[in-house]
A and B are shown apart, each in its own frame.
Chain A
Amino acid sequence: MQFEHLSITELRKKLDAKELSSVELTKYFLSRINELDKKVNSFVTVCENEALNSATKADEFINSPGENPFLCGIPYASKDLFCTKGVRTTASSKILDSYIPPHNATVEKKIKEHYGVLVGKTNLDEFAHGSSTETSAYGPSKNPWDLNRIPGGSSGGSTAALAAGLVPWATATETGGSIRQPASLCGVSGWKPTYGRVSRYGVIAMGSSLDCPGAVAHTVEDLAHLAEIMSGQDEKDSTTGVQPVPQYSKNLSSNISGLRIGVPKQYFVEGMEEDVKNRVMDAVKQLEKMGAKISEVDLPNTRFGSLVYAIICPSEVSSNLMRYDGIRYGHLSQQAKNLLEVYEKSRGEGFGSEAKRRILTGTYVLTAGYYDAYYKKAQKVRRLIMNEFSEVFKNVDALVCPSSPNVAVKIGGAKENPLFGYIADQLNIPSSLAGLPAISMPCGFGMPSDGEAPSMDGLPVGLQVIGPQWGEQTVFNIGYAYQQETDWHRKYPGV
């Protein structure tokens, strides 16, 4: 029996029917990880013992009377940015190489309460700084569709592990495209929540006004279930919204007749691959055929998104990364002779190139004399972008567009290119700045513009659906409806 391509919803039925136990299922995925992750490098840490212990507990729960929670006994992986009590958490940085958190992130706590089974921690760009996983201190993850290519990032370990069938789902995080872009490049479904929908507590901070913990899975139906479990106000994160969490999964509807969907013309940018554009337009036609009312919409300030992000993100990064001092936890330099050197040398040795670049950039734009010209100005243009989205959402219920201007590029292009991410994520960043919810899901295959694809079909293309703040249900419904009519989400690479 093969389980690697089954959704959580399908595995749930098998566990409930006692066709197999959680221990058996967990061992199945652990053995796939042992066998295949040498090629994919999607895991930083595999926690076999903890996983088998959790699976045993889940089996006990399943064997007792009563209904089982959705995640009960289901293996999953967590992006190595989520603090997991007792399980090494590195943020893919040398500065946290041996860090074992004394606490669980709120998201991990919620999954644990559902008897989810953590099998390991997935690779990412160091501190989530990047769009390729190439800035990871543990080497890049490989795209399961072509091992010479990037999986995207920063949540590339999570999407690569899922695409390779090493886990049925994984946690992920976004600051400006880090769920949607790798989901697109690896041909899986990913959910980036409304800002504040999911608690950031215990998720190692990158840009606090932008960070959104989310998830990747095989289907949008699974994502709706996961959203229900992960969302909600948390007293440990004062930016979580007070809005009650809807029953997203129960409310799923494949009837999108009459739904107003906008296609922003600025999202078909210069340099976009022809196949990406064509596959996305095919999907738009499909949605129209299903009854959606399609219209072209105008978002002229889109092009400023990445520029605003290039100021705000490093500013918040430079503040957040000040906590790594070599004293309370993390790497301590053995070369330091006094306290100042403890800071400077521990940080100099522990942080990689990209983290240093962002710290220095953030420090520069926040320095007295530059603050108004850069940071304040960027936050004003951010308002302009937010207002523009608000206007558009008066006339449409959701937006659809590509998740990435291109399919996966070859490994090596991103490192030491300070602008790589800002360009790779130009279609995701504006909605991140506005705190909007979105998904990316597979909508076909395209040929890369940089060379030959491994098969005649090409590499995965992602369709993005963006909603207004707290508009998760509409976004999930569009994704669910689309996946009822198409089977792009049921294509898998042979690893």
Chain B
Amino acid sequence: MLNIEEIKKLAKLARIEIAEEDLEKFASQLSSVLEYVEELKNVNTEGLLEVDQVTGLVNIQRADTVVVSDNREEIFSQAPEMKDGYYKVKAIL
């Protein structure tokens, strides 16, 4: 069972604010998901490699050619706050 303190720690790691009144709910819901997957621990997977890519592709590369993109304005237009052509962010501290 996960407790409220563990949910707070996960929220910190994931950079996401969780309302005080939701902590209990998430603790119980995450616990039920972990309980649900518990059975996997007993599955015999000896000698099996974990899956990394389902269709078996390895090291796919494309030609290193220059492609001109001229959508600077369209990209910047989506930023909530800009100043002098830069993304504007709050002070770190």
Contact = CB atoms under 8 A, between A and B. Distances in A.
Contact of A327 (B13, B54, B61, B89): B89
A340 B15 contact: yes
Q: Which of B16, B19, B39, B91 has the most CB of A within 10 A?
A: B16
A342 B91 CA distance: 10
A246 B1 CA distance: 51
A307 B10 contact: no
B55 A194 contact: yes
A469 B55 contact: yes
A10 interface: no
Contacts of A373: 41
B18 A356 contact: yes
Contact of B39 (A239, A307, A416): A307
A328 interface: yes
A360 B11 contact: yes
A360 B40 contact: no
Contacts, number: 177
Interface string B1-28: 0100011001101111111001001100
Contact of A435 (B6, B43, B54): B54
B47 to A, nearest CB: 9
Interface in B67-93: 71, 74-75, 77-81, 87, 89-93
Interface in B29-63: 29-30, 32-34, 36-37, 39-41, 43, 45, 48-55, 57, 60-63
A446 to B, nearest CB: 27
A363 B13 contact: yes
A326 to B, nearest CB: 7
A337 interface: yes
30 contacts: A102-B74, A103-B71, A209-B53, A235-B63, A301-B43, A304-B39, A307-B36, A310-B33, A310-B37, A311-B37, A327-B79, A327-B81, A328-B78, A329-B79, A336-B90, A338-B93, A339-B90, A339-B91, A348-B16, A348-B17, A360-B10, A360-B14, A361-B30, A363-B14, A364-B6, A367-B10, A380-B49, A381-B43, A384-B45, A387-B48
Interface of B: 2, 6-7, 10-11, 13-19, 22, 25-26, 29-30, 32-34, 36-37, 39-41, 43, 45, 48-55, 57, 60-63, 71, 74-75, 77-81, 87, 89-93
Interface of A: 99-100, 102-103, 194-196, 209, 235, 238-239, 241, 301, 304, 307-308, 310-311, 314, 318, 322, 326-332, 336-345, 347-349, 351, 353, 356-357, 359-361, 363-364, 367, 373-374, 376-384, 386-387, 416, 418-419, 422, 433-435, 469
